Amino acid sequence: MLPSENVIRAAGYAPPETPFALVEKRRGAVCIAAADARALALGIGPGLTLADARARLPELAAIDHDPVADHALLEWLADGCDRYSPMVATDGAQGIILDITGCVHPFGDEAGLVGDAQRRFNRQGITSALALADTPDAALALAANGDGRSAVAALPVTALRVDPETHLALRRAGLKTIGDLAGRPRGPLAARFGTAMPVLLSRLLGEEDVRITPRRTPPEVQVEARFAEPVTHAEIALATLDRLMRDAATILSDRGRGGRRFEAALFRSDGHIARLGVNSGQPTRDAAIIARLFRERIDALSDPLNPGFGYDLIRLTVPVTEPLIAQQLELEGGGVTDAELAALIDRLSTRLGRGRVRRFAVGDSHIPEQTAFELPVAEPGSPSIWPQRETDEPPLRPLHLFDPPQRIDVTAEVPDGPPRRFRWRRTLHEVTHAEGPERIAAEWWKRRNGKGLTRDYYRIEDMRGRRFWVFRHGLYGVEKPMPDWYLHGLFA
Amino acid sequence: MTAFAELAAATNFSFLHGASHPCDMVAAALELGHCGIGIADRNTVAGVVQAHVALRDAVAEAGQPIDFKLIVGARLVFADGTPDIIAYPATRRGWGRLTRLLTTGNLRVEKGGCHLELGDLVEHRHDLLLIVMPGPCDGLRPLVDAARGNIWLAASMLRGGRDRRQLRDRIEQAAAMRLPLIAVNDALYAGPGQRRLHDILTCIREKRTVQTAGRLLASNGERHLKSPAEMARLFADAPDAIAQTQRLLARIGFTLDDLRYEYPHEPVPAGYTPQHWLETLTLTKAAERWPGGIPPRLSTLLADEFAIIERQNYAAYFLTVHDIVAFAQGEGILCQGRGSAANSAVCFVLGITAVDPLKNNLLFSRFISEERKEPPDIDVDFEHERREEVMQYIYRRYGRERAGIAATVIHYRPRSAVREVGKALGLSEDVTTRLTSTVWGSFADTIERQRFAETGFDPDSPEIARLGEFVGQILKFPRHLSQHVGGFVLTQDRLDETVPIHNAAMADRTFIEWDKDDIDALGLMKVDVLALGMLSCIRKAFALIATHIGTHYTLDNVPDDAPDVYDMLCKGDSIGVFQIESRAQINMLPRLRPREFYDLVIQVAIVRPGPIQGDMVHPYLRRRQGHEAHDFPAPAPPHDPDELRSVLGKTLGIPLFQEQAMKLAIVAADFTPSEANLLRRAMATFRNVGAMDQFETKMVGGMVARGYDEAFARRCYQQIEGFGSYGFPESHALAFARLVWVSSYLKCRYPAIFAAALLNAQPMGFYAPAQIVGDVCNHGVDVRPIDINASDWDNSLERAADGGFALRLGLRQIDGFREVWARLIAASRPFDSIEALARRAALPQHALRLLADADACRSIGLDRREALWEVRRTPGDVLPLFAAAQARELGIEPAADLPQMRPAEHVAADYQTHRLSLKAHPMQFLRGMFEREGVASSAATAAAKDGRRIKTAGIVLVRQRPGKGNAIFITLEDETGITNVVIWARLFERYRRAIMASRLMLVEGELQRSPEGVIHLMATRIHDRSAELGRLSDTHDAMPDTTRGDEDLHPDYPRTHGHPRSVRVMPRSRDFH
């Protein structure tokens, strides 16, 4: 399986028209982590920097490398291999090992099984190299290094799973293939390359057999209730779920952990499975909170829970947990508010959708409208540190900003005097007090021409005591002959 | 009009804070009509001399005094929360307080930075005028009480939104503290246009990109110099703050011209004046040297020189240099003086130089220009391996507060500028690396559009255009201060009361914060204590000769008359010889055909950018070979037609040396001596481009007006241009020529010893060990491989069968080997097995592997493969205590019977482990393949007819792009010899990547043969065939070194990052031992 194939699959089996590479940042440089078959054929492989690769192949497309997605794909393929054998393991980022001892009869013989697997992989658009051997080590070596059919003895010494230093030392000794090593007494080898090396060699040569360790992905916590008689009432099902939550909470509490995700599976006797999942913003094991979240979830379902012929199995799993230390309530109850706020956010997010509940974050810029922006509350991110207002100082900037700022007509002294009077929404305001300018220059790097107008901000108060935040857009005579004025905000 | 002076002006010596050169700050202040400026950088006075010189030049240009006052000081930045305080010395004494204060802060930190606290300033406050910059003033009470009358509170109006309110507060605060308020604009750059550059500098400083720096950047661009009228408008609420700038300015009585220099008195015994002692010492030494009486001509010379030295008051300087040289000689460290004053009879007698003025007809007065009032110049070269001893002696003798090394201002170079500006603009590192990797070193002072295009970037894209713009501005900006290679400033008074002192990065070194130009500008005295690899080599050769032959040589008793040595040089056989071993020099030798010492002086000086750019080389050669009359360019009457004979007599009417070109400007173009000197300085620094044009007009115009041929005048000017950057005065050439002679003599008479000494003195010289060994083999010397039973750490001599000497390669040639291991091996020889080696020499496993892989175990019957196989099972690091107990612990094994290693694999492994192979040349193994492609060997190429088209291939030894870069010279080597390739610049643009990256290059071209038999291949096509080297071996990486000469290719590599030769152009394969 090539990492690039995940991209091809994700793009609906339509790869980019040009050769492409997956890139990642390594020590400051953008490097190629993997490339598709066409790029590989042109000599562009892992380790090259993107700039070098582009110099050779200017049309090369670059896509961010996503090892997590690749791993997910591998796991998905391994799931599919369950059909051949219960003994399935993954190896590294690209390998799957099956122990097919006693499993070949549905396919006639071993070759039949391999052929079937090959066909299935091909159908999924997965490049695969399959190899059969007596030991997992040999099979992996053959699949990775050979064409799957040649003998182990013809493989290069790099097929031996030892560190690259040993590979080099072996080649320097003139021993280039596994065959060169096979006939040698193991004692001298062990004396030079460590005792592990002859063992690995024996495994590769099939002289020593080892079993694979099948992969298992049990949820961290799983509790279930089986019913001899299917339960046909939704209320009873929900009550059962509540009980399971308490059981799960006990287990979590014993382990000092809290769940971040809870999944319920209600197995109907006719084979239908209703799956529900809820997330919490902070690790929790409070059964009441979880139950409430589930209720919210169920209430939000477009088609309500239908027991139909009845549930015969209800299972609650907690796939994601985090450490949660038992919290002591503060005497005056102060610490609880955080938890309550978190619970509220969880409820709102569950009901309204994650993207709907938002918080403000600090934007690092001198430009006023860019000093704050919104983020989904659940989005991880460093907590914002808001600039502290200096004590004894009136606020420099208003809480309310107009977006966009509103054009006003202003009478002011040139070049950079404060406004004397201005007209806003057809009302004339006589300015009695003014302070400024606070001069904020444009962010030249965001503009193609590298220029942009400077703003001169003034805090002003009119005769009726209303306070405004206005700015002159452009330096008089320098950047603009007659700069425009805008009202940007109102002070409370 | 309001009188105002900005007294808080920073320059780009406030590293990464200020965004303008000192001279630009001064120029802008003059332009705006300020009545003065105060230059104050952050905890440094490194930039003030440049400002001082800028004003001095402006006055000289105006031709009359200017009503403008420059005051210099420093902005003190404290570590204890005190607001910044700018300090200006009012008197010379105040300057001393300031420099001592900065020195105190500098020496508190290991390297870089200055740690100051308010208490330090209170202690050093005398005669300083202080401006307290905005900030909390709560803790200032002790300073205010102590320095009342000399303190101002600064106020600025920087458009922060509440300027007027803050100004009001500041007025109240000043009143409460009973201090006057002074108006500043806290300028960081000269004009509003530099705001963007300042943002970039901020990003570099904060290690952020401009996109993410946010509020770390200044919110606006107000911190430039503003006109007095504008300042008056801003400070309308506090007109007195503007007036205070005049009051402060008026109180400063100090300028940098007040710094007076005095020589140290140490070398003069009590009761003598320096002059008296110099004469006594010289005459005593002369009497020792000529026991039969001092030759009369020498007496006359000495008397003349004494007179000049007395008039110029240089005696103390000569004595100081003599003191240093005498120390070195006492320690057996070879040294030799050069520089304008070094070629004098006094220096010869005192042993400072080995150039005999009697034999060479030198006139001291030729090198000392009395009217120029320049300090005499003596640089002393010491053996590079032992120079540190000399430096530590100087510190010991004069004390750290009186001796310091000059600074070198490290400037932004194209590479560093692209890298750092690129980073600040948010370009990823691989992009900037690509942009810099193909820039041909120093020839890319401007980043050319084509460079961008070649690397696959659109030069018109906004990011790249911006990069180009900022790189152009930041080039030549000072980046940080570093120590000069060896320029010492010694004073009688405390040096730290003249200039602040810093700790250097190297242990036990301190340096002052002014560089060579600053020191020159202020008339301070400097002695250059330089390191020269050839002196180490010569000393080692002398020692080997003394041990093995019994002859005792010194620099001045090597016979200076040996026709066989000149014969050798005439053939161009000079690999390893000092100075004349480069390709261009080797080609020049058969043309110049040196037969006497002065020919060597010319040989050293002629292959230089000056004569080459001035097109003086060929006329000289034609005259020398008798093809052209030795006539002298003559002016029109009424001028003396022979006026140039005195200037150019010795060089057949062609100016070759720097002094001649300067003298020409004076004699033939009516320059005053100080103008000629200004011209030279302008050339050397390339700072004032406008002034250069004026000089050209003046020089060419002056010569033409006097009746000289205009073409000749133009050539003379071009030559001065060339000298500016790579000047080679006659006095240097003379000193170097002596070392050329000594090394040629050694090479000719003692080839094996000379090669051993060269190898033992590495890194030095032009060639890599492979070429040195190859050359000595070609001279019939038996070179023997590294072996555990024969090699010492150093390369050594063994008796050869014919009674001569054979060269035994030393263990130092093995990459990564250590001297201690070599000593252990030498002490416990002989060995009959790897086990014995491991046990008796107690070597770590790593050392054993290095030895085995270097194929150094042949004498115990093991080749590298067998030895490595054996080593891998041998435990290393055996403690001697347990050695006996472990005796013969390893069992007997069945024979391993490993496959035989191919010869090509051996050669590749030799190159990887010790960068040369005695077994074969790598090209030998590729010959069959290349022959099938019709590629000729070097020997075949050399034998081909003139004008033939030919293909040849070889390992790249040297790439050079001399002078203006019209042609690139590449030397290829194969098993039959070398081929010299010339590539014209236009072809270079096409094959840039192949030329830059090739280790094995295939060149197609046309053969050219000069009348003297020098052969060049004029390239028409270049192919990078480096990949073929991979065929030699799949386990070792045969990447031959280019020579040191190839450093021209990467002049931008910071020298501190190890020797340029160890910078491999291609990455090494992953290699483990």
Q: Does B65 touch chain A (CB under 8 A)?
A: no
Convert the pLDDT of each residue in A80-103 to its tens digit: 676 677 677 888 778 888 888 777
User: Confidence class of residue B800 from pLDDT cuts 50, 70 and 90?
Assistant: confident
pLDDT at residue B441, rounded to an integer = 41
Lowest mean pLDDT across A35-49, B209-223, B415-429, B511-525: A35-49
Our CA-based measurement puts residue A19 at a distance from the nearest CA of chain B, in whole angstroms, of 18
pLDDT at residue B1040, rounded to an integer = 65
CB-CB neighbors (< 8 A) of B164 in chain A: 435
User: Confidence class of residue B1058 from pLDDT cuts 50, 70 and 90?
Assistant: very low
CB interface of B with A, residues 319-358, below 8 Å: none
Convert the pLDDT of each residue in B38-75 to its tens digit: 999 999 999 999 999 999 888 888 888 889 999 999 99
Q: What is the mean pLDDT of the segment spanning B220-241?
A: 94
Convert the pLDDT of each residue in B1009-1049 to its tens digit: 887 778 889 999 999 898 888 888 877 776 666 665 554 33
Convert the pLDDT of each residue in A321-355 to its tens digit: 888 776 555 555 445 556 677 778 878 887 777 77
B291 burial level (CB within 10 Å; 0-12, 13-18, 19+): exposed
Q: Nearest-CA residue of chain B relative to A48? A: B430
Interface with chain B: mutation pick from A26, A64, A386, A445, highest number of B CBs within 10 Å: A445
pLDDT at residue B964, rounded to an integer = 61
Convert the pLDDT of each residue in B611-639 to its tens digit: 777 777 888 888 888 888 777 777 877 77
Convert the pLDDT of each residue in B644-699 to its tens digit: 787 787 888 888 887 777 777 888 888 877 677 777 766 665 444 456 677 788 88
Q: Nearest-CA residue of chain A relative to B429? A: A29
CB-CB neighbors (< 8 A) of A491 in chain B: none
pLDDT at residue A11, rounded to an integer = 61
Q: Does B407 touch chain A (CB under 8 A)?
A: no
Q: What is the mean pLDDT of the segment spanning B561-588?
A: 90
pTM given for the model: 0.74
A58 and B219: CB-CB below 8 Å? no
Q: What is the mean pLDDT of the segment spanning B497-514?
A: 88
pLDDT above 70 for B86 = yes
pLDDT at residue A434, rounded to an integer = 93
Lowest mean pLDDT across A179-188, A253-262, B571-580, B888-897: B888-897
CB-CB neighbors (< 8 A) of A187 in chain B: 893
pLDDT above 90 for B724 = no
Q: Nearest-CA residue of chain B relative to A174? A: B899
CB interface of B with A, residues 216-245, below 8 Å: 217, 219-222
B723 burial level (CB within 10 Å; 0-12, 13-18, 19+): buried
B130 burial level (CB within 10 Å; 0-12, 13-18, 19+): buried
pLDDT at residue A226, rounded to an integer = 76
pLDDT at residue B541, rounded to an integer = 95
CB interface of B with A, residues 874-913, below 8 Å: 893-894, 896, 898-901
Lowest mean pLDDT across A77-81, B186-190, B663-667, B972-976: A77-81
pLDDT at residue B450, rounded to an integer = 61
CB-CB neighbors (< 8 A) of B901 in chain A: 174
pLDDT at residue B438, rounded to an integer = 56
Q: What is the mean pLDDT of the segment spanning B832-860?
A: 90
Pairing of the two strands B967-974 and B977-984: antiparallel
pLDDT at residue B543, rounded to an integer = 95
B611: closest CA among B585, B636, B630?
B585
Q: What is the mean pLDDT of the segment spanning B748-764?
A: 93
B434 and A51: CB-CB below 8 Å? yes
Query: Three-class SS string for chain A?
Result: CCCHHHHHHHCCCCCCCCCEEEEEEECCEEEEEEECHHHHHCCCCCCCEHHHHHHHCCCCEEEECCHHHHHHHHHHHHHHHHHCCCCEEEECCCEEEECCCCCCHHHCCHHHHHHHHHHHHHHCCCCCCCCCCCCHHHHHHHHHHCCCCCCHHHCEHHHCCCCHHHHHHHHHCCCCEHHHHHCCCHHHHHHHHCCHHHHHHHHHCCCCCCCCCCCCCCCCEEEEEEEEEEECCHHHHHHHHHHHHHHHHHHHHHHCEEEEEEEEEEEECCCCEEEEEEEEEEEECCHHHHHHHHHHHHHCCCCCCCCCCCEEEEEEEEEEEEECCCCCCCCCCCCHHHHHHHHHHHHHHHHHCHHHCEEEEECCCCCHHHCEEEEECCCCCCCCCCCCCCCCCCCCCCCEEEEEEEEEEEEECCCCCCEEEEEECCEEEEEEEEEEEEEECCCHHHCCCCCCCCEEEEEEEECCCCEEEEEEECCECCCECCCEEEEEEECC
Q: Does B427 touch chain A (CB under 8 A)?
A: no
CB-CB neighbors (< 8 A) of B210 in chain A: 445
A396 and B195: CB-CB below 8 Å? no
A193 and B429: CB-CB below 8 Å? no
A437 and B161: CB-CB below 8 Å? yes
CB-CB neighbors (< 8 A) of A168 in chain B: 1035, 1070-1072
Convert the pLDDT of each residue in B293-338 to its tens digit: 889 989 998 998 899 889 888 888 899 999 999 999 999 999 999 8
CB-CB neighbors (< 8 A) of A448 in chain B: 462
- Which member of B161, B428, B434 has the closest CB to residue A396? B161
Residue B487 forms beta bridges with which residues?
Answer: B528
- Which member of A185, A191, A439 has the closest CB to residue B159? A439
pLDDT above 60 for B949 = yes
B893 and A450: CB-CB below 8 Å? no
Helix, strand and coil content of chain B, in percent to the nearest 5, comes to: 45, 15, 40
Our CA-based measurement puts residue B849 at a distance from the nearest CA of chain A, in whole angstroms, of 11
pLDDT at residue B270, rounded to an integer = 87
Residues of chain A with pLDDT under 50: 333-334
Q: Nearest-CA residue of chain A relative to B1069? A: A168
Q: What is the mean pLDDT of the segment spanning B862-885?
A: 74
